[in-house]
Chains A and B, each alone.
Chain A
């Protein structure tokens, strides 16, 4: 394939990775930012979103789009509700102590993963996209007969892939609106700034924590529901997004939502482009190397505020 169309296809693939990654990583980031909890089970909430999407779509007969639209609402809500329960009965009980929450969420990771294996099974299962038209993309080239439009082989995308990118942007904008323009957002930010002071002002910190943990998990699940018609639901699908989310959150700055989104775009796009031109392994190596450099030269991340 020629360089131009090649780069274009690579960027499109990268944009999809970035869109889903942004949703997942922002979920991890707000949980850490507000609760100071490192949620190692985040990838499993992502996986649960995809598995529930499969379950819901296979329960609902009729047009495949119907099941999908139900799933995109219901699956994040169910996963969020499960996360709230986990917060109430696990994280709350260990007083959000950083070390113990890490161990607790590792336990949660294996409980969720193995329960899924025992019930859903070890197979990858497909979810049908609500719509999926192939769009061939033209390319402009200066040829023998002057400037002309050509249709290169393989230069294409699908309507659903474009929808994933748009949907992720809309969801992130909505999240930004909630965090900065609403009362609940104000309460969350107050809790983030100073938990004790917030409590002194009558903010029910425990409820805020439960809500935030649920929201973080729901965002991961939402990302998974969006991506599952492109990939498939599989009980081990949570490990890659977990790794990438950690990378993104560290590069973007711990607890910084804007930094997380910027880093997600950076990592997602570079992953797509490097994978296409070189190998996916090299993309992962470079991303991890970038984390090392960020930690050495800018320990608070690109957008993180120093706490000193």
Chain B
């Protein structure tokens, strides 16, 4: 009997050890993501049926286009009192959650405003929001749901560039206009498709090209870059280093950090000692830790620091440990603190979204907004409104007309529709260009130090989407 028990012990042990490893791998493969093996399986099996379904749908859509007629059912859905359905792809969970919360509030505010002004072509906007978990795979599924399940007119609102990369091809296949608010250079680079547009926010390439002369002239010529290790960070790495070297500067080191990282001290010793300027841009849930540890690393003898406000979006500048930022500079897409020369447009926009003069929620001073980015939702929906009105948009059959109407846009003056500032839209590259702001931390607040012109942000076209077929 003793032998029997010992043997059982061995079997049990080897089973448990195998299970241990299984789960070690399981958690490794899902680390940082909110997924189970089970959902993976479900998703895989639905992939197959989705493909089949798509083929059928594609064939059907092709036949319809050839015949040039629309069945009565769709016509019925276009009755004038029907709302315009906008699928809102929102980062409610995952590493983009803080942005998602504020993109949500901004979208809610602008929809309320547009609807109170009579909606679009007399029809109200209805927002259908879906969480994409800041995950590219989920992003593509969400776009598909908008097109097939909810019958949305357009999809809108994605921020994180890897989610845009994951979703845009799907939007192209489903022929649903996809208005992203992402900052990535992916749209203007020509890597996406005719259905993907970015009319409400400027892209990283234009931002960093406008920053390079300021840094070279005012801060120093030897720069070490710290950036997140995914598409958005790589845009910074590639376009800033090129623009900065064109200014006669030198990039000493490029330090890439995974956006899911939670502890940063171990990366900082890579910063070369002759660094004159630290250029930092970070995203993810741990940005506050990132900046705090940067301060602890340097102590009182810091070099010049130039950051993209992404490193501190949704973070209170008065958090303990951030005192060292006094006197450093930040790029801001839109000044978080209400400035002395605040425009009436910003005043109205700020109030509509519910943001106080320090950039925090009016109901909770600790809930700091993503002010440098979220204006993009406001402006994009106004562009959609203008585009739909110009195209006399009636329903999904007019999607191509909508895209052509937006492509035809150029000047967007500083207005209630564009509270961040005037913009120039480039229909060929599907990308908008606008002013960039540089703020200096002064007495714990971001004070506007420099505003670039739109011309500073322009670069040569890399694509002409208008020549692509639908």
Q: Which residues of A contact B (CB under 8 A)?
A: 1, 5-6, 9-10, 13, 17, 32, 36, 38, 40, 43, 64, 98-99, 102, 106, 110, 113, 117, 121-124, 126, 128, 132, 134, 136, 152-154, 156, 158, 230-232, 234, 236-237, 239-240, 242-243, 246-247, 249-250, 254, 272, 275-276, 280-281, 284, 288, 291, 295, 299, 307-308
Contacts and interface: CB of A to CB of B under 8 A. Distances in A.
Q: How large is the interface on B (under 10, 10 to 19, 20 to 34, 35 or more residues)?
A: 35 or more
A132 B268 contact: no
A244 to B, nearest CB: 9
B296 A158 contact: yes
Contact of B262 (A99, A136, A153, A237): A237
Nearest to A240: B31
A240 B286 CA distance: 15
Given A123-B101, A156-B296, A240-B262, 10 more contacts: A6-B269, A9-B269, A38-B16, A64-B320, A126-B319, A128-B320, A156-B297, A246-B27, A250-B17, A280-B261
Interface in B1-33: 6, 9-10, 12-13, 15-17, 19-21, 23-24, 27-28, 30-33
A237 B271 CA distance: 27
Interface string B397-425: 00000000000000000000000000000
A134 B314 CA distance: 26
Interface stretch (B70-78, B92-100, B107-115, B441-449): B92-100
Interface of B: 6, 9-10, 12-13, 15-17, 19-21, 23-24, 27-28, 30-34, 36, 92-94, 97-98, 100-101, 258, 261-263, 265-273, 285-286, 288-289, 296-299, 301, 314, 319-321
Contacts of A280: 258, 261, 266
A275 B266 contact: yes
A226 to B, nearest CB: 13
Contacts of B296: 134, 156, 158
Contacts of A249: 20
B269 A154 contact: yes
Nearest to A102: B19
B97 A122 contact: yes
B286 A43 contact: no
Contacts of B273: 1, 152-153
A123 B93 CA distance: 8
Residue of A64, A280, A299 with highest tally of chain B CB at under 10 A: A280
19 contacts: A1-B273, A9-B269, A13-B263, A36-B12, A98-B15, A98-B16, A99-B15, A106-B23, A106-B36, A122-B285, A124-B285, A126-B288, A152-B273, A231-B263, A231-B289, A243-B31, A246-B27, A250-B20, A254-B13
B93 A122 contact: yes
A149 B68 CA distance: 83
A239 B30 contact: yes
Given A43-B27, A275-B266, A254 B299 contact: no
**What 8 pairs across the A-B complex have the smallest Cβ distances?**
A122-B97, A124-B285, A246-B24, A239-B31, A275-B266, A122-B93, A1-B269, A231-B262
Nearest to B315: A126
B286 A232 contact: yes
Contacts of B321: 132
A281 B31 CA distance: 13
Contacts of B10: 307-308
Contacts of B98: 123
